[in-house]
Structure 1
Amino acid sequence: MAELVLCTGLDPDEPDSVTPVVIVTEGGAADEDAVTRLGLYGYEGDGCLYFVRTDGWAERRLDGELLTVDIVAYPAVLKGLEAAADRFPERSAADPEAVRLLRVSAQVSPGTYARATDITAVLTALAGTPAEQVVAQTRSGENWPLILAPQPE
């Protein structure tokens, strides 16, 4: 099951920055599997993969202490992932042409979230791997995050 956490120190250039991180299970449910495969469309950067905003993005909202992240992509991307768009009936809040692949929520400190960067990171893990271990593997360079930009304006 997908998990959402706020992490500090993922960006070595800004060790005090806070990054919302979505952790998905490799070979998991259809929604997690689609998000895991988005990395196929990412382009390599400094120890990470960047997902182009013209293909998809992360939509975030904070209601009190509940942070919700939706990961969305355009149907054309799903064709390349061999995922049928009809399996994802929910639409993006920013663009109804884009489909919501995954929604994940978590209780967070609003003060900590106020320091969050604009990007959302996606990490892929084997089933049963604790979030702390997945984040530690990313910090050490063993696991490359997929970086999603915020929704288009």
Structure 2
Amino acid sequence: MAELVLCTGLDPDEPDSVTLVVIVAEGVEGVEGDAADEDAVARLGLFGYEGDGCLYFVQTDGWAERRLDGELLTVDIVAYPAVLKGLEAAADLFLERSAADPEALRLLRVSAQVSPGTYAQAADITAVLTAPAGMPAEQVLAEARSGGYWPLILAPQPE
């Protein structure tokens, strides 16, 4: 099951900066429901372009939509149907639409309780980490901090 965490230490240039991270499981293809959602998001990295220790997902292909309601943070990861074709993912599995652009499909929704003060310090980007199913979030984050996992960086929703 996908997890949402706020953490520090992912940006080696700014180790105290707060980053919003979505952790998804890899290798769950050919399934429906939440696992299909995670699989599609895990494979978005195929469309990312390489940066300095990370992959960037172009905002014209998709983005992360974030909403804070009290202490409940909800993140939707969305992409256009053409991206799903490239991933060989069935677009008909993704019925929900983006709040920012009804042409884009919601691939995954994940929520977590967070401190509004900490969230206010978070960068605008959302990082996605893909790891083996069942790996604890703290272990995934530790591996990412040491360069073991490259995050996929998603821009905020277009304005």
TM superposition score category, shorter chain reference: over 0.9
Which of 62, 67, 73 aligns to 2:68? It is: 62
Query: 2:150 matched to 1:144?
Result: yes
Unaligned runs of 5+ in 2: 29-34
Instruction: Name the residue aligned to 2:49.
Output: 43
1:18 paired residue number: 18
Name which of structure 1's ranges 85-94 and 23-32 shifts more when overlaid on structure 2: 23-32
| Equivalent of residue 77 in structure 2, options 71, 80, 83 | 71
Shift of 1:50: 0.2
C-alpha distance after superposition, 1:89-139 (max 9, x if no partner): 000000000000000000000000000000000001111100000011001
Cα distance in structure 1, aligned partners of 2:70 and 2:18: 18
Q: Distance in 2 between matches of 1:27 and 1:64?
A: 34
Unmatched tracts of structure 1, length 5 or more? none
Query: Identity of counterpart residues, as a percentage?
Result: 88
Which residue type is aligned with residue 128 of structure 1? G
Is 1:34 the counterpart of 2:70 in the alignment? Answer: no
Name the aligned partner's letter for residue 75 of structure 2.
Answer: V
* Structure 1 residues 69-104: Cα deviation after superposition (integer angstroms, max 9, x where no partner): 000000000000001111100000000000000000
Map 1:55-134; keep pairs closer than 5 Å. 55-134=61-140
Distance in 2 (CA, whole Å) between partners of 1:151 and 1:10 is 22
- Residue type at the aligned position of 2:5: V
Number of positions where the alignment pairs a residue of Structure 1 with one of Structure 2: 153
TM-score by length of 1: 0.99
The amino acid of 1:14's aligned partner reads E
How big is the shift at 1:27?
Answer: 2.1
SS in 1 for 2:123: coil
In structure 1, give the amino acid aligned to 2:100.
Answer: A
Partner Cα distance (1:74, 1:133) in 2: 31
For 2:124 and 2:148, the matched residues in 1 are separated by 24
The corresponding residue for 2:8 is 8
Shift of 1:14: 1.2
Q: Within 2, Cα distance between the matches of 1:15 and 1:127?
A: 27
Amino acid at match of 1:13: D
- Give the superposed CA RMSD: 0.6
Q: What amino acid is the match of 1:146?
A: L
1:12-67 residue CA offsets vs partner (Å, 9 max, x unmatched)? 11111111100001123100000000000000000000000000000001000000
